[in-house]
Structure 1
Amino acid sequence: MVSNDAKRVMPQRARKEEDKEARRRQLLDAAMALYQGSSYAEVKMADVAERAQLAKGTVFLYFPTKEALFLALLEERLFAWFARVEETLSRGEGRWTGARVARVLAESLEGEESLTRLLARLQTVLEQNVTEEQVRGFKERLLEAVVRAGALVEKRLSFLKEGEGVRFFLQVHALVTGLRQMADLAPVARAVHEAAPHLEPLRVDFTRELTDSLTTLLRGLEAR
């Protein structure tokens, strides 16, 4: 039988956990809103606190470093993307080809510029000033997601050998990282391109180039 004291404590604890999650959500939403309108370097922790309408010290209670905050942001968006990809690969009807898989993956990243920009900073920035515990948790979840998605790609493309689905998603990551960096022109470079139309061949259309690169990759694996 639960005592009256226990009955009083349990709802209080639940409310405290709800409050913590609500504050964490406020901070993540504020950081993403700021990031979408600027760059990683321009977003300050003080600005995040101000936008979330919380004290500056509150940010550091939940995220000890800026990298920890943005790694948490990346986690949310990345695993949400994996969930959508898994659903598409599981339910898609008709014949699956390498070209179709390439197109599906590239198009799934349309409108996800914030995700691809964060992915481009994962190894060089976001994993540099965080705890081993946070990185380990992220890597464990990432492995699970990559294994699931890799198995679905292997199921759709019979020419892939066991385990190649995982390697394929690692290659997707590499292509996304490189192409996003190439597609994002600095203001001065953008001005140069606008003033010199003959430089147009150097511009990178992220979705088109990712689609073509993944298609070429999968065609090569099929032709072995």
Structure 2
Amino acid sequence: MVGAFTPGRAGPVRARRDEDKEARRRELLDAARALFEATSFAEVKMADVAARTRLAKGTVFLYFPTKEALFLALLDDLLTAWFAKLNGRLAEGDGAWTAEELARAVAASLEGEETFTRLLALMQTVLEQNVTVEQTRRFKERVLVAMGATAVLLQQRLPFLTAGDAGQLIRHVHALMTGLRQMADIAPVAREVLTLPHMAPLRVDFTAELTAAITTLLRGLQAR
């Protein structure tokens, strides 16, 4: 009979549709990441993302109304993955760590994560400037939860940290990551100039500089 209800039908159909939507969303994020890694945020256009995924430009905007919304979603995924990676390192083994051991663990967790740190450097100044309040709220809520879990692990590794210290440490590490990534991610012309021997003091080794900065920060906290 036309219009008759078929028990159990709506659930699987809806599930497949949700799976299809998530697969399409993932495809768009992967395309945005590949384009960003090959060029820069400023050079990536939504039309490029559409072309890479063989979708109509209008379809891309159905999922992400702005370029900033697309890349904030990508940063959300990368940030979540990095926190999980860092937490895995912090949870390895038992006992307290030295400031140097923790600094090395944080720096090591960022090896191979240049895309993440480049996007993180754009978060406040670019990515959060043209998105909805709702998307920003969801993003910040996830960051808050991730920070809380990491703060607990930091206190276990460095008993001299208070809960407030651990949260502040994460914020300071964020600032260091952002600043050092911007200093290390230089234009080709500047990179050529910095190869000159006398320019050595201006070269930035992201991992080494971050390790040294976090170590100094932790020693200061421990010495209070």
Normalised by the length of structure 1, the TM-score is 0.95
Correspondence for 1:182: 183
Distance in 2 (alpha carbons) for counterparts of 1:93 and 1:206: 28
Distance in 2 (alpha carbons) for counterparts of 1:156 and 1:48: 43
Normalised by the length of structure 2, the TM-score is 0.95
Partner SS for 1:140: helix
Q: Does 1:199 align with 2:199?
A: yes
Name stretches of at least 5 consecutive residues in structure 1 with no aligned partner.
Answer: none
Correspondence for 1:219: 219
Matched-pair contact (CA < 8 Å) for 2:96–2:156: no
Deviation digits for residues 179-220 of structure 1 (CA, Å, limit 9, x no counterpart): 0000111122112223x2210110000000000000000011
Distance in 1 (alpha carbons) for counterparts of 2:93 and 2:57: 46
Q: Give the aligned length.
A: 221
Correspondence for 1:72: 73
Distance in 1 (alpha carbons) for counterparts of 2:112 and 2:219: 26
More helix by share: 1
List structure 1 runs of 4+ shifted beyond 4 angstroms: none
Q: Does 1:91 align with 2:95?
A: no
Q: Does 1:111 align with 2:101?
A: no
Matched-pair contact (CA < 8 Å) for 2:96–2:159: no
Distance in 2 (alpha carbons) for counterparts of 1:22 and 1:7: 23
Distance in 1 (alpha carbons) for counterparts of 2:116 and 2:19: 27
Q: Does 1:32 align with 2:33?
A: yes
Deviation digits for residues 22-60 of structure 1 (CA, Å, limit 9, x no counterpart): 110110011111111111111111111111121111110
Matched-pair contact (CA < 8 Å) for 2:95–2:157: no
Correspondence for 2:19: 18
Name stretches of at least 5 consecutive residues in structure 2 with no aligned partner.
Answer: none
Correspondence for 1:209: 209
Indicate the percent of aligned positions where both proteins have the same amino acid.
63
Distance in 2 (alpha carbons) for counterparts of 1:213 and 1:116: 16
Amino acid at match of 1:14: A
Please provide the CA RMSD for this pair. 1.3
Distance in 1 (alpha carbons) for counterparts of 2:137 and 2:173: 22
Distance in 2 (alpha carbons) for counterparts of 1:25 and 1:6: 31
Measured after TM superposition, the shift of residue 95 of structure 1 is 4.4
Distance in 1 (alpha carbons) for counterparts of 2:113 and 2:6: 49
Matched-pair contact (CA < 8 Å) for 2:151–2:163: no
Matched-pair contact (CA < 8 Å) for 1:49–1:59: yes
